[in-house]
A and B are shown apart, each in its own frame.
Chain A
Amino acid sequence: MTDNNVHADAAILEAAGEELPAKPTRPMLLVIGRVLRDPVGLLGVLIVTVMVLAAIFAPWIGWQNPYDLSQLDFMDGRLAPGSQSMSGVTYWLGTDDQGRDLFSAILYGLRTSLMVGVLSAAIALVIGTAAGLTAAYAGGRVDTLIMRVVDIQLSFPPILIALILLAVLGQGVDKIIVALVVTQWAYYARTIRGSALVERRRAYVDAARCLALPPRKVVFSHILPNCLPPLIVVATMRVAYAISLEATLSFLGIGLPVTKPSLGLLIANGFNYMMSGDYWISLFPGLALLLLIVGINLVGDTLRDVLNPRMQR
């Protein structure tokens, strides 16, 4: 040790038994692994997976296409769960007033609800991320402008904004997606701005700037990926919120057209018959909606715990 052969620096490290770090695992795989090891997370993932698969494969699982009026038999209207149809099929969840098999209708409704929820959340995510990153990176007046718009937007109840928009735009799948995006983007913008401001002050961003990397590389390769964890949590929760908001709007009759019934619309349809004892027309779509939203929220909760640096170790 007295001979200071500096070239032996590396060799010394090895000799001292500083082991090679173990093979790394991709962080994303680690997160998925942790979610699945958590009983609550596992339950949420199972619920969501089953429901998503059911929605995707609805045409093959449900034996009836509830939108094909030629397949509906008006004579089968409002049959109780477990009843036999004229043609000898058992309606396990009963039928609605137009003779739709509720099981098939729920599968197709799930499809619409999930599609609208995920699509609107994805579009809102992109818009909100762009706005939030711009605000955080540009700072100053741009930041003030964007964030005041966000503040104003968030001070109104989302349902009010959606109601006004739909009153102006009219009904339709595209219209409701627009309405949901408008009510949602601000949440993403605020979340990502918060984390981007934190990340921007970290030394690795200084290092990237010192290395004369262009701003777009600093923002998209360095800041954005490190803002993703909270964004993923918010996005998960927001999908659930978008689905329930869409159901609310459809229930109120200003969401989706009757020709494309989502879960909300199914609930609304059956609501008229609740008092006459035909509970199943509203109940089963309602349960499906509840299960879906609870499932997504369980996944979101677990993700938040797993991704929260303070909860680790």
Chain B
Amino acid sequence: MSAALITAEGISRRFAKHPDLAARIANKLGAHHASRVVHAVDDVSLSVNEGEVVGLVGESGCGKSTIGRIIAGIDSPSDGRILYRGEDMAKAEGARARHIALKIQMIFQDPLDSLNPRYRMGEIVREAPRYHRVAPARELEAHVDSVLERVGLDPRTKDRFPHQFSGGQRQRIGIARALAVNPELIVCDESVASLDVSIQAQIINLFMRLRRELGLSYIFISHDIGVVRHISDRVVVMYLGRVVEEAPVEELFAHANHPYTQALLREVPRLDNRHISFTPLSGEIASPLAPPPGCHFHPRCPFAMDVCKRVRPALLEIAPGHKSACHLNTEPAAAAAEA
């Protein structure tokens, strides 16, 4: 089997808050300021094949944005590695490192914040291809223009500043900037969340057209299950830093296995739910600072067993391409024995 376009292997990201100088002095005097470690992402593996759209869903604090930033090379993982077509990205050097770094680009949530307010639109798109010599100098402007036209921006507006564009147009500028370096994978981190419904549809359509025309792959990170279902081939569900379920999109929506996924799908507001009496999942999302032991979801889970409080469930394949991390899928006794 040929290597996937991108593979993330055992990625963890810990944020440690070490005691500062004052706290260390206080410690010497008998106080207890321990360093606190937050597992934003805890041993997550996922892969994206060429031309595939992988949806990444979950609620706040689940680590979906962090994993996106690690794959895009903006943050570095505490553990684990990212492979580009089987090649460890952290081991590449010099021109090769830059070359493969450009293959993964990111589109951000807030279009205005993601554009340098002091750059003109043309310069925003032009900067990276010029620096990396993506196109010969004399063809650079033609390259920029063709990218702008591809995303539906008028090249005549190249001398305008970001604040002069509408929200949808700004997001198109961000997309043009990413496309200008010929990427293969685009990480979309809540890229349509801040847009109005009618503009959202325009941008989603643009993503899908670019996929068709350029053979792009996407990691589509969103809290909006409806959008993810529409655009993805495969969906990964995360809860408090861990993957709880992963399946092809229709399989997931037809046969959600993990109790969290089931609750999430049930509670997505839908147009065809009228005057429903909501039967919500009880409890708050736990703080990533102090996640519950065992299965992170057990305090909210209606099926929680004794083993769930102690043992972290493994992510096991329960059907072809469908993985879930739940003790209900294994013999409770066997799971207990593992411990």
Interface residues of A (CB under 8 A from B): 4, 6-7, 9-10, 13-14, 18, 20-24, 27, 144, 202-204, 206-213, 217, 221-222, 225-226
Q: Could you name 28 residue pairs across A and B whose Cβ atoms are closer than 8 Å?
A: A4-B205, A6-B208, A9-B206, A9-B209, A10-B154, A13-B152, A14-B154, A20-B154, A21-B164, A24-B120, A24-B160, A24-B164, A202-B113, A203-B109, A204-B114, A206-B69, A206-B74, A207-B106, A209-B73, A210-B73, A211-B127, A211-B128, A211-B177, A212-B102, A222-B116, A225-B118, A226-B116, A226-B117
Please tell me if the beta carbons of B118 and A226 are within 8 angstroms of each other in the complex.
Answer: yes
Chain A residue nearest to B159 in the complex (CB):
A24
With A9-B206, A203-B108, A206-B108 as given contacts, are A211 and B118 in contact (CB-CB < 8 Å)?
no
Dominant SS at the A interface?
A: helix
Q: Which residues of A contact B98 (CB under 8 A)?
A: 212
With A9-B152, A213-B128 as given contacts, are A207 and B157 in contact (CB-CB < 8 Å)?
no
Residue among A206, A211, A213, A217 with most chain B CB within 10 A:
A211
Chain A residue nearest to B187 in the complex (CB):
A210
Please tell me if the beta carbons of A210 and B106 are within 8 angstroms of each other in the complex.
Answer: yes
Q: Which residues of B contact A213 (CB under 8 A)?
A: 127-128, 131
Besides A21-B160, A27-B161, A203-B110, 10 other A-B contacts (C-beta < 8 A): A9-B152, A21-B157, A22-B164, A144-B21, A208-B116, A210-B104, A211-B128, A212-B128, A213-B128, A226-B117
Residue among A14, A22, A24, A210 with most chain B CB within 10 A:
A210
Chain A residue nearest to B100 in the complex (CB):
A212
Partner of B115, one of A4, A6, A204: A204
Q: In angstroms, how far is the closest chain B Cβ from the Cβ of A154? A: 18
Residues facing A in B299-330 (CB within 8 A) are none
Please tell me if the beta carbons of A207 and B202 are within 8 angstroms of each other in the complex.
Answer: no
Q: In angstroms, how far is the closest chain B Cβ from the Cβ of A273? A: 54
> In whole angstroms, how far apart are the Cα atoms of A24 and B202 in the complex?
26
Please tell me if the beta carbons of B101 and A212 are within 8 angstroms of each other in the complex.
Answer: yes
Partner of B114, one of A21, A22, A207: A207
Please tell me if the beta carbons of B152 and A204 are within 8 angstroms of each other in the complex.
Answer: no
Q: Which residues of B contact A7 (CB under 8 A)?
A: 209
Q: Which residues of B contact A144 (CB under 8 A)?
A: 21
Please tell me if the beta carbons of B157 and A203 are within 8 angstroms of each other in the complex.
Answer: no
Does B247 make an interface contact (CB < 8 A)? no
Q: Which residues of B contact A202 (CB under 8 A)?
A: 113-114
Partner of A211, one of B105, B153, B209: B105
> In whole angstroms, how far apart are the Cα atoms of A7 and B149 in the complex?
10
Q: Which residues of B contact A210 (CB under 8 A)?
A: 72-74, 101, 104-106
With A9-B209, A204-B116, A206-B69 as given contacts, are A20 and B156 in contact (CB-CB < 8 Å)?
yes
Please tell me if the beta carbons of A203 and B114 are within 8 angstroms of each other in the complex.
Answer: yes
Residues facing A in B81-108 (CB within 8 A) are 97-98, 101-102, 104-106, 108
> In whole angstroms, how far apart are the Cα atoms of A204 and B209 in the complex?
25
> In whole angstroms, how far apart are the Cα atoms of A211 and B180 in the complex?
10
Q: Which residues of B contact A6 (CB under 8 A)?
A: 205, 208-209
